[in-house]
Amino acid sequence: MPTLFEPTSFGAIKLANRVVMAPVTRARAGKDSVPTPIMAEYYAQRASVGLIISEAVGISRQGLGWAYTAGIWNDAQVEGWKKVTQAVHEKGGKIVCQLWHMGRMAHSSITGEQPVAPSPSTGPGHIHTYEGKVPYEEARALRLDEIPGIIESYVVAARNAMRAGFDGVQIHSANGYLLDEFLRDGTNHRTDAYGGSVENRLRLLREVTEAVIAAIGAEHVGVRLSPNGDAQGTIDSNPEAVFIPAAKMLNELGVAWLELREANPDSHQAFAGATEQPKLSPEIRKVFHGSLVLNQEYTRDTAMEAVSSGKADAISFGRAYIANPDLVRRFQEDLPLQEYDVTTWYGPHGEKGYTDYPFAK
């Protein structure tokens, strides 16, 4: 049986081990959403991982409504990301770009327009803006004639990612953002071709994935789903009826890999009720035959068991990578993990809590 530290491949991407760095928003870009030099240092420090999934990266100004986060819709952003991918590759690592449209979770103070969603709705809690944390705003429903432009934004972003030197992309369809909002009947109340039946709610994910595959090749494409809940209050009355068909569809489209963020009872990010929904990864494993990556609250031992037993092909770690740039070595040698400083997670804190965590001696 495979081990967590053996090589594998996700389509065209060859991984030195089966530890994956999950996407972790750190908000260290400029107000122009251009990656900054310190971001290249941060990712290069973590290049010993089998694959880095970048922080969520905005595909358009409309889709990026969180302060100090990075985009990939213009040439300046591409040039900024080139420095990041070059630094990772010089260390022998692999990195993909997570393509992000925030949907109803964006804010007009950053995007310059009312947030958009499948249907009018308001996200729970607060968002980080340049003026501090503020409540989410009500989103308006996307018009049918706007949807082709959304799809084209994903295509442009995917092409830009490859131009920037990324090894591939991950389509972010989880965590309560736009594509996830279309999947779930808790946020999708449309009565047109993009709402109602499961097939209709899957339509936008299908069309985006097909378009990105046509642009850069399925061997460079992965997708992220959060079948049994997320931290954004985006729910569905019957997740099994949505996410197993979604995984089957993605398998038929030929995406190279699929990452599942699955809430656990001890997850501090799980919203009320999320953990009452069973994990769907065992059933998804039966219908998705590409590489399967599992995420959420894994430890060294549970990750090793999940890979060796065949439950997953790799395991992704998010918060553990904030304070442990050498996580693979710490796992291999069973070294203690460092604790992160939550006050430095987001915003323009420079190197503090970002690039100043020491490597094991």
CA 44 to mean position of chain CA atoms? 19
Based on the residue annotation, tell me whether 177 is a catalytic residue of this protein. Answer: yes
Chain position carrying tokens 């070595």:
329
Question: Which sign, positive or negative, has the C-alpha torsion 311, 314, 316, 317?
Answer: positive
Spatial distance between the Cα atoms of 300 and 142, rounded to a whole number of angstroms: 43
For residues 99 and 81, the answer to whether their CB atoms sit within 8 Å is no
Candidates 43, 136, 154, 177; catalytic one: 177
Distance CA 335, CA 326 (A): 10
Cα 332 to Cα 4, 17, 300, 315: the distances in Å are: 9, 11, 9, 14
Biggest CA-to-CA distance, the chain: 59
Contact of 212 with 162, CB cutoff 8 Å: no
Q: Which residues are marked as active site?
A: 177
